[in-house]
């Protein structure tokens, strides 16, 4: 189940994003498993059997950043590459304006990164890993 979070802060690996991000692009999946429902017969009556598909318990978080092409420590290409190399070890924490916190851990940046030289362009980042924790 998805809900809208009026975002106050987004932390990646415990630090605020060093680049602006498009808050309208924030999309997430909390990692709840798919439920499969089947029919069975028990004593001549139909009954439904429900099972969780734990293979689908994958948390996902994606957003777009506004890249920079500075050739220094603030270069978005260097930052994104560091996220890609941090396989299974990224964390994302989102705090809403009402103080609710969602946290994903054990994340990998899974999408192929495409940079756009357009000044108004964005770079999409998609992470997958453990299901989220709400606090």
Residue 6 is predicted with a pLDDT of 60
Assign domain 7-134 to its CATH architecture: Beta Barrel (2.40)
Cβ-contact 127, 106 below 8 angstroms? no
Closest of 58, 5, 52 to residue 31, by C-alpha:
58
The answer to whether the pTM exceeds 0.85 is: no
- For 21-40, write each residue's pLDDT tens digit: 776 778 888 899 999 999 99
In angstroms, rounded to a whole number, what is the distance separating the alpha carbons of residues 62 and 27? 5
Per-position pLDDT tens, the chain of length 135: 444 556 668 889 988 876 777 767 788 888 999 999 999 998 889 999 999 998 889 999 988 887 766 545 567 778 888 899 999 999 999 887 778 888 999 999 999 888 777 767 788 899 999 998 988
Residue matched to tokens 């290409």: 77
Cβ-contact 27, 7 below 8 angstroms? no
Residue 85 is predicted with a pLDDT of 93
Helices of type H across 1-135: 76-85
- Give me the residue spans of the domains in the chain: 7-134
Cβ-contact 32, 130 below 8 angstroms? no
């Amino acid at each position: 189940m998805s809900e809208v979070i009026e975002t106050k802060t987004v932390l990646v690996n415990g630090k605020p994003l060093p680049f602006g991000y498009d808050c309208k692009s924030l999309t997430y999946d909390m990692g709840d498993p798919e439920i499969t429902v089947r029919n069975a017969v028990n004593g001549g009556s139909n009954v439904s059997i429900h099972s969780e598909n734990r293979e689908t318990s994958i948390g996902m978080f994606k957003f777009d950043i506004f890249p920079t092409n500075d050739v220094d420590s603030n270069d978005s290409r260097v930052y994104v590459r560091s996220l890609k190399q941090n396989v299974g070890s990224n964390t994302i924490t989102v705090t809403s304006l009402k103080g609710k916190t969602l946290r994903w851990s054990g994340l990998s940046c899974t999408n192929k990164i495409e940079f756009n030289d357009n000044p108004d362009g964005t770079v999409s980042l998609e992470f997958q890993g453990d299901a989220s924790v709400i606090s």
